[in-house]
Amino acid sequence: MRFINYLNEKRSKNVVSVDIQPMYKNYINFNLSKYFDWLSNQRKILYFFNGPDTVGEDTKQDILSWMIYDYDFPEEKINDIIFFDKSYAFFRGWMDQGVDETTLKKALRYMINNKVNDSREIDPEEWEEIIGNQDIYYDDMIHLPDIPLNILKKFSGSYLTGGGRNECLKEVKILMDVLNIRYTMVRDFIF
């Protein structure tokens, strides 16, 4: 039995969806009809997107219309979706410099434990004590996103879908790892 069939027939869970929206439809390399059909059979959905408050053009209403009218997503299922404009590139400054995930997670745990939202608030010498001698441009910041962590924590044990695989989805995955939020990546629905 293919994994996606197993997911459809046997397992219904909460879902965290990242950046599956009209703005990125040309980059999504899986069948969106199958995705929205699968999604309609899941429990609660935390739907992250890049909207007008960040770098995107899609509003919540644009995404809903796209889902319903282009992909026959059932309107009654909309009440199970929490939409959230997640902001953009919160860890990418260091990710794009090649900072490894372990170091990034260590830095983020330190920031969370010390209630620091912007990495530039920490002196480079202090960073060196925390994460060792890294070749990092410290003014290329990382920051804790405005994602409601209390809501995200309620999605522990969820399926994780979306993209980009090495960009926004990876940022959400790293944040979930740092917060010890469990998830199962659904590779059939990752771009």
For 94-148, what is each residue's pLDDT tens digit? 999 999 999 999 999 999 999 999 999 999 899 999 998 877 877 789 999 988 8
Residue 7, pLDDT above cutoff 60: no
Residue 4, pLDDT above cutoff 70: no
pLDDT score, position 170: 97
pLDDT score, position 66: 98
pLDDT score, position 9: 53
pLDDT score, position 1: 45
For 26-52, what is each residue's pLDDT tens digit? 999 999 999 999 999 999 999 999 999
Using an 8 Å Cβ cutoff, are 54 and 18 in contact? no
pLDDT score, position 5: 57
pLDDT score, position 8: 52
Of 52, 76, 54, 72, nearest to 62 by C-alpha is 52
For 50-94, what is each residue's pLDDT tens digit? 999 888 899 999 999 999 999 999 999 999 999 999 988 999 999
For 143-165, what is each residue's pLDDT tens digit? 999 888 899 999 999 999 999 99
Domains of the chain (ranges, CATH numbers): 3-89+148-190 (3.40.50), 92-131 (no CATH)
